Structure 1
């Protein structure tokens, strides 16, 4: 049985008006929600205790993704390279290049329980299968996992670290893999959720403590929760056409934060959709898990 959450439970946390808000992460050390606006190259934060919102702009074409690091810094994806920002106002130190020579950019990523970053690339024209999934180790080693990807999204790990989820938004599908945490390898790829018949676009995702996979549907105005068996049991309608990604945050990790985008909406849609691009919060819907942190080796190549 699928339940629908009343729209009254959805509140605006920050009137961000992001062009392409993405990759929200809750940092328990700063007690803040961090996210990015990809197209405006903004790294943003929100303190629920004070309501303070901060932003910093970075010199790149696309600020594609982010991760927390074990030493309290932030890893940021700029175009096709990764850098580490040691403090909120400090410079970005180049960490490694993930790809070169393709008309791609880095997009969604997530750190596993051993401190490795799993991150993928996407085609800048949104239709060519130029992208790939990579594993980035703490010493800067980049290992390709597989290719033939149009738009990487929805990377998440099950609570027992035995399953990796992966979405290709422009193929309208989510897959799952067996995941070997010790060796950092994946196998036994199988279809988890197939939306090819409707061309619906699953985007960013996260898991809860019970193993449910929460997924934002770009151009779909909703969040859904999949049970571990792939069945949808919860739907949350949103006052925005383009929700992009989700994460759990707050002191109890029981607030679902949702980023969204104004991108691809025409003037008529924007005039009607006043909350497009905002950061949303839904309290008490479920409980999440702390984000793992990237274990960077400071001797990694710059």
Structure 2
């Protein structure tokens, strides 16, 4: 166990998609299993929660200051935290078996969001790209879409399939939004954590939360593990860079997967933890399509 501070003791069932708003100094995240979007204003120490009628997997901020979010039933925009949902794309998959999970925007403002296929008996998880009112599927070969991130130059896209313990790389054309040349970036041995959500720092290192692995790993662009950091929760889910200098790494965690016995040792599981890093992260791209 480590002494990483818990900056938001949210006790979320499944905290995911931490996202830093550098303009308002606010940290957002979702609790997928509680159908919630959270906003923590670091300047005023204010914590607001919006409840939806269905699971929200991921979201991005927009250039206008609103949101685009991937819910189970599709993708929606809303102009402010509590504003009305406006349909952008309605799901054409079986909502009983499939929902959106991880996602973010590319540097040209396209929104990418991946789905997970709950039965996990076929590779039906897909990576969708939303731009100018249209949907394009970039990849459909995962059980659970996760770990989406881009290299600082935007030419490499990362994408993980958590249950299969693998992170992939793609060549990415930021001009056209095309992803090609899929290959393994890194595979983790079974029984020692699975690659969940991730973020890339300004030097191109890929930081991955190892679900069921109790740690965060920093991986070089060449796929070598450089550093490992223990987390006071068995199930870290994602990381995000933030803070005024982008040198704070926020770590979301899951509470719902812990047993009552485990929660005695990890009482703040489901919270957001934070650690200082030496290399700043990248400012999060915003939806502009």
Which deviations, in whole Å up to 9, do the C-alpha atoms of 1:235-292 show, x marking residues without a partner? 1101100100000011111100010001221121123310110101112343111111
Residue 98 of structure 1 and its aligned partner are, at CA, apart by 4.4
Matched, 1:187 2:180: yes
Unaligned segments of structure 1, at least 5 residues: 1-5, 297-302
Question: Could you say which residue in structure 1 is the equivalent of 2:202?
Answer: 209
Give the alignment partner of residue 19 of structure 1, picking from 10, 13, 37. Answer: 13
Q: Report how far residue 7 of structure 1 moved.
A: 2.9
3-state SS, counterpart of residue 198 of structure 2: strand
1:151 corresponds to = 144
Q: 1:71 aligns with which of 64, 69, 72?
A: 64
Question: How far, CA to CA, are the matches of 1:13 and 1:264 in structure 2?
Answer: 21
**8 Å CA contact 2:193, 2:214 repeated in 1:** no
Counterpart for residue 127 of structure 2: 133
Q: How far apart in 1 are the matches of 2:241 and 2:183?
A: 26
Once the two structures are superposed, the pairs formed by residues 150-299 of structure 1 within 5 Å of their partners are 150-198=143-191, 200-296=193-289
- Residue pairs, 1:43-82, within 5 angstroms: 43-60=37-54, 62-82=55-75
SS in 1 for 2:126: strand
Query: What residue number does 1:39 align with?
Result: 33
Cα RMSD of the aligned pairs, angstroms, is 1.5
TM-aligned CA distance change 1:186 to 1:33, over 3 Å: same
Does structure 1 conserve the Cα–Cα contact (< 8 Å) formed by 2:12 and 2:270?
yes
Shift of 1:113: 1.0
Aligned counterparts of 1:214 and 1:141: Cα–Cα separation in 2: 30
What's the offset of the Cα at 1:148? 2.2
CA distance in 2, matches of 1:167, 1:280: 22
Query: 1:256–1:285: 8 Å Cα contact kept in structure 2?
Result: no
2:248–2:275 Cα contact (<8 Å) kept = yes
Match of 1:116 in 2: 110
- Which of 90, 114, 122 aligns to 1:97? It is 90
TM-score normalised by length of structure 2: 0.95
The separation in 2 between residues aligned to 1:132 and 1:261, in whole angstroms, is: 23
Q: Encode CA deviations 1:97-116: one digit per residue, 9 max, x unaligned.
A: 24323520011111011111
How many pairs does the alignment contain?
A: 288
CA contact (8 A) 2:150 2:158 kept: yes
What do residues 90-147 of structure 1 show as CA deviations (whole Å, max 9, x unaligned)?
Answer: 122111124323520011111011111111110123453221111111x220011121
Q: Secondary structure at the match of 2:33?
A: coil
Other structure's SS at 1:253 match: coil
